[in-house]
């Protein structure tokens, strides 16, 4: 199949390139913008049955002015002194001015008796927005309100800063947009530099950048079309992830073809023979790898948390389009360029001494040593994974220079930490509510440990709904606040008003529900991804035990990688926690993308084994010829993901470091050492029920171009040496 595709593409390169140009241009020109379908509002991704979502619905119905996005406009003196009476008058005037300016998207700006901190250093005006965080009107209102406040306070000696969920969302979106630019620039420079060093060809350094850049635009457009067609929104983490995924796996696939192509050219084959042979063989590897990645990402579709499930379409489209690119556009370009692709130094010759050849010989002779050595390293790192501690503090993950984070730091110094995002308790009945029961509810909530203040109940005009605003003593994003809301606060609220439903809402309640759903989704996604991957590996290798070996290896790679993240960020850098999404996203990236290198080596061992080589000889040959490919591609991909660490956003940095470590482990320890060592130790059991070719003693690498390599129906153990 892949040989036929290769021959067709190489015979008609201009047609292939022309078709790509037309289709890519159509998508880029006519597709909507993915920005229109992107949000960072975690609550919007929750199923409607969760309490925080039900609370939001109750608030929207009965208290629309208070249920939308909120903010705190923090005012302090420029000199850091306490606010004078004149300053307080100015602050009150600021609330009046902003409230009467009719800023689109702003419902109210209010001064309350609680607006002045007890230390007199800070004033905090309460802001209510018309809509939820991430809504276009709210996003536009945040900078408008900041500008209007700055203008109103000009020359007064006072400074204002806006924080709260609306401002945090705007600043997060801006931070991710900046991160995407940083990632793109760093990724492009890294790929150009590394490809240039590996292949010593300016064309090879530039072609992947141009091709993958076009593919990125196509994928972004197709994802936006899917979001429009299926009516869903995606997390604001998707676009930065798409950049590193496409440039990472795209470069991987291109490097796989280039190394095999160069290997055939070095044997003296013609340009066309070498390209057809390399694309035909590597096409199967790339397709298997891409299907494995797609399968792993498809497991996200089974998550109920939509911030995870809506990542799947974009990632699946990205890998699928990149697979088509590797099988069609890349070979077509290489066919046109011919040997000039390697200009000016040409494909070169096989090095007289290769460290990978020595590694291959050692692993074939003494497979126990690398198996135990690599296994010990990974087990030690895995032990640290048990110390994983999650954080939901999305504000703390933003760069320290972010406006909303700086404003919160000022607010936190003078007010209860929970003032950043109060918790709302909604009471909804079919008849007018009992005022005594509402007073009792407020008293019960005030007595809950971890609660700072409780406002008197607000009741609708018909008396059938009430709102009790609760300010927590702890940071609303912290574990302590989440424990308060999940446990005693909800317990005190539920069933407290006879004949009415009571819902606890707000940002902290939403994160409690996100955490609960994430735990359930993790338990669902992990095994589904594992089953999909082992099936694909089994079909690729036609070896049951071999597929299980590879799955166990990549699972161990994941646990070791998570351990490395814990070791760096919790133990070395002293972080209070690691972003809550890291384990499940890291699992999918490391298991799926890290499997590329295992598939590359395992497929070469499979090729050699079917051709008649013993298991140990197959391992030696695979390490000698394909470990350099895995190493080069691994370095490029690891550096690509490591560029996420340059963004200043903690969760992206953690993800980038984790995936980079996972790729290094897969490319330098797992694929060239542990997997071949296991196959050498297990021998024919590793490859059962694969049958071997009758031409025993000759590896596939030694066969003349075009010589048959298909297995026969003979006894698969025939001719196997004792060492196998």
Place of tokens 């880029």: 28
| Residue closest to 324 by CA, chosen among 219, 237, 406 | 219
Tell me the CATH number at 135: 3.30.70.1430
Asked whether residue 237 carries a pLDDT value surpassing 90, the answer given is: no
| Domain-located, residue 716 | yes
Tell me: cis bond preceding 610? Omega within 30 of 0 counts.
Answer: no
Q: Which residue has the higher pLDDT, 173 or 571?
A: 571
- Average pLDDT of the chain is 86
d(CA 274, CA 110): 74
Domain count for the chain = 4
What confidence category does residue 672 fall into, taking pLDDT thresholds of 50, 70 and 90? very high
Residues 657 and 603 in one domain: yes
pLDDT digits (tens, 9 = 90+) for 63-75: 987 888 889 999 9
| Residue closest to 394 by CA, chosen among 203, 175, 622, 206 | 175
Helix (H) or strand (E) holding 73: strand 70-77
Note the pLDDT of residue 78: 94
Residue 204 backbone class (left: φ over 0; alpha: ψ -120 to 50; beta: rest): alpha
What range defines the domain where residue 475 resides? Answer: 422-505
| Domain-located, residue 9 | yes
Residues 373 and 259 in one domain: no
Residues 383 and 494 in one domain: no
Residues 469 and 527 in one domain: no
For residue 99, what are the CA distances in angstroms to 104, 122, 142, 161, 403? 11, 20, 14, 16, 22
Tell me the CATH number at 326: 1.20.1640.10
What confidence category does residue 704 fall into, taking pLDDT thresholds of 50, 70 and 90? very low
- Which residues have a Cβ under 8 Å from the Cβ of 268 and sit 6 or more positions away? none
Residues 270 and 213 in one domain: yes
| Domain-located, residue 287 | yes
Note the pLDDT of residue 468: 95
Structure tokens of 46? 């929750």
- 3 state DSSP class of 456: coil
Asked whether residue 714 carries a pLDDT value surpassing 70, the answer given is: no
d(CA 96, CA 152): 11
What confidence category does residue 723 fall into, taking pLDDT thresholds of 50, 70 and 90? very low
- Tell me if 663 sits within 8 A of 249, measured CB to CB: no
Note the pLDDT of residue 196: 86
Residues 361 and 397 in one domain: yes
- Tell me if 236 sits within 8 A of 307, measured CB to CB: no
Q: Pick from 480, 505, 530: which residue ends a domain? A: 505
| Domain-located, residue 473 | yes
Structure tokens of 22? 């037309």
| Domain-located, residue 180 | no
pLDDT digits (tens, 9 = 90+) for 155-204: 999 999 999 889 988 998 888 888 878 888 888 888 888 888 888 889 99
d(CA 88, CA 172): 31
d(CA 324, CA 309): 24
Structure tokens of 452? 């700072």
What confidence category does residue 578 fall into, taking pLDDT thresholds of 50, 70 and 90? very high
Q: What percent of the chain has pLDDT over 70?
A: 94
pLDDT digits (tens, 9 = 90+) for 101-160: 789 999 999 998 889 999 999 999 999 998 888 888 999 999 999 999 999 999 999 999
The mean per-residue pLDDT over the stretch 614-631 comes to 90
pLDDT digits (tens, 9 = 90+) for 414-444: 998 888 889 999 999 989 999 999 999 999 9
CA angle 671, 677, 679 (to 5 degrees): 95
Note the pLDDT of residue 700: 53
Reduce the secondary structure of 258-285 to three states and give it as a string.
HHHHHHHHHCCCCHHHHHHHHHHHHHHH
Note the pLDDT of residue 715: 34
Q: What share of the chain is helix, strand, coil (3-state, %, to 5)?
A: 65, 10, 25
| Domain-located, residue 493 | yes
Q: Pick from 505, 535, 564: which residue ends a domain? A: 505
Note the pLDDT of residue 689: 85
What confidence category does residue 299 fall into, taking pLDDT thresholds of 50, 70 and 90? confident
What confidence category does residue 44 fall into, taking pLDDT thresholds of 50, 70 and 90? low
Q: Which residue has the higher pLDDT, 322 or 636?
A: 322
Using only the alpha carbons of the chain, give its radius of gyration: 30
Residues 655 and 528 in one domain: yes
Asked whether residue 722 carries a pLDDT value surpassing 60, the answer given is: no
- 3 state DSSP class of 473: coil
| Domain-located, residue 361 | yes
What's CA 323's distance to the chain center, in Å? 20
Note the pLDDT of residue 40: 61
Note the pLDDT of residue 284: 84
pTM, to two decimals = 0.79
| Domain-located, residue 574 | yes
Residues 577 and 648 in one domain: yes
Asked whether residue 486 carries a pLDDT value surpassing 90, the answer given is: yes
β-pair type (423-429, 465-472):
antiparallel
- Tell me if 129 sits within 8 A of 141, measured CB to CB: yes
Q: How many residues are listed for the chain in this entry? A: 724
Residues 565 and 639 in one domain: yes
The mean per-residue pLDDT over the stretch 532-545 comes to 82
Q: Pick from 334, 350, 366: which residue ends a domain? A: 350
d(CA 273, CA 263): 12
Residues 444 and 377 in one domain: no
Residues 129 and 275 in one domain: no
d(CA 628, CA 260): 11
pLDDT digits (tens, 9 = 90+) for 340-398: 888 888 777 766 567 889 999 999 999 999 999 999 999 999 999 999 998 888 788 88
Note the pLDDT of residue 688: 87
Place of tokens 């999918």: 588
pLDDT digits (tens, 9 = 90+) for 3-26: 788 889 999 999 999 999 999 999
- Tell me if 191 sits within 8 A of 636, measured CB to CB: yes
Residues 136 and 281 in one domain: no
């Amino acid at each position: 199949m892949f040989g036929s595709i290769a021959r067709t593409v190489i015979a008609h390169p201009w047609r292939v390139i022309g078709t790509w140009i037309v289709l890519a241009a159509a998508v880029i020109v006519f597709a909507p913008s993915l920005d229109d379908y992107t949000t960072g509002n975690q609550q919007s991704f929750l199923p409607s049955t969760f309490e925080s979502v039900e609370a939001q619905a109750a608030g929207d119905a009965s208290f629309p002015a208070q249920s939308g996005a909120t903010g705190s406009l923090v005012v302090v003196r420029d000199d850091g002194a306490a606010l004078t009476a004149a300053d307080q008058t100015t602050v009150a005037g600021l609330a009046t001015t902003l409230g009467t300016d009719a800023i689109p998207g702003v419902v109210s700006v209010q001064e309350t008796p609680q607006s002045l901190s007890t230390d007199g250093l800070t004033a905090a005006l309460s802001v209510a927005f018309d809509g939820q965080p991430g809504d276009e009107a709210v996003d536009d209102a945040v900078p408008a309100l900041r500008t209007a406040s700055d203008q109103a306070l000009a020359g007064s000696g006072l400074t204002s800063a806006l924080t709260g969920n609306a401002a945090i969302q705007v600043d997060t979106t801006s931070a991710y947009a900046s991160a995407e630019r940083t990632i793109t620039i760093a990724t492009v420079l890294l790929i150009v530099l590394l490809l240039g060093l590996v292949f010593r060809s300016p064309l090879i350094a530039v072609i992947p950048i141009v091709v993958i850049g076009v593919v990125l635009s196509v994928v972004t457009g197709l994802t936006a079309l899917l979001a429009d067609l299926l009516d869903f929104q995606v997390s604001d983490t998707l676009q930065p992830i798409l950049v590193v995924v496409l440039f990472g796996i795209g470069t991987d696939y291109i490097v796989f073809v280039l190394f095999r192509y160069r290997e055939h050219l070095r044997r003296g084959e013609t340009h066309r023979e070498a390209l057809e042979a390399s694309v035909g063989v590597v096409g199967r590897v790339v397709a298997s790898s891409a299907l494995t990645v797609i399968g792993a990402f498809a497991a996200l579709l089974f998550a109920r948390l939509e911030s995870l499930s809506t990542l799947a379409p974009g990632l699946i489209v990205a890998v699928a389009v990149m697979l088509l690119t590797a099988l069609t556009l890349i070979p077509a370009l290489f066919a046109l360029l011919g040997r000039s692709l390697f200009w000016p130094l040409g494909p070169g010759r096989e090095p007289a001494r290769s460290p990978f050849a020595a590694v291959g010989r050692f692993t074939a002779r003494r497979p126990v040593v690398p198996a135990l050595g690599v296994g010990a390293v990974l087990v030690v790192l895995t032990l640290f994974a048990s110390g994983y501690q999650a954080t939901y503090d999305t504000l703390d993950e933003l760069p320290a220079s972010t406006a909303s984070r700086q404003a919160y730091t000022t607010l936190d110094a003078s007010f209860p930490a929970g003032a950043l995002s109060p918790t709302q308790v909604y009471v909804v009945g079919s008849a007018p509510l009992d005022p005594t029961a509402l007073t009792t509810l407020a008293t019960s909530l005030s007595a809950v440990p971890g609660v700072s203040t409780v406002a008197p109940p607000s009741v609708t005009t018909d008396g059938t709904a009430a709102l009790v605003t609760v300010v927590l003593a702890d940071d609303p994003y912290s574990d302590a606040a989440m424990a308060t809301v999940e446990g005693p606060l909800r317990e005190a609220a539920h069933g407290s008003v006879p004949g009415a439903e009571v819902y606890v809402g707000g940002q902290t309640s939403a994160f409690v529900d996100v955490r609960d759903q994430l735990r359930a989704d993790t338990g669902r996604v992990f095994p589904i991804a594992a089953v999909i991957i082992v099936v694909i590996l089994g079909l690729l290798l036609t070896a049951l035990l071999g597929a299980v070996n590879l799955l166990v290896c990549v699972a161990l790679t994941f646990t070791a990688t998570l351990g490395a993240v814990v070791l760096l960020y919790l133990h070395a850098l002293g972080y209070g926690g690691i972003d809550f999404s890291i384990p499940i996203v890291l699992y999918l990236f490391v298991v799926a993308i890290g499997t590329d290198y295992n598939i590359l080596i395992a497929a070469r061992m499979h090729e050699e084994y079917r051709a008649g080589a013993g298991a140990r000889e197959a391992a030696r040959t695979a390490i000698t010829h394909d470990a350099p490919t895995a190493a080069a591609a691994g370095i490029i991909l690891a550096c690509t993901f490591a560029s996420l660490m340059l963004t200043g956003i903690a969760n992206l940095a953690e993800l980038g470091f984790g995936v980079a470590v996972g790729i290094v482990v897969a490319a330098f320890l797992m694929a060239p050492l542990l997997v071949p060592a296991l196959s050498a130790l297990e021998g024919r059991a590793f490859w059962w029920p694969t049958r071997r070719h009758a031409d025993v003693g000759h590896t596939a690498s030694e066969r003349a171009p075009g010589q048959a390599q298909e297995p026969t129906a003979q006894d698969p153990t025939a001719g196997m040496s004792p060492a196998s």
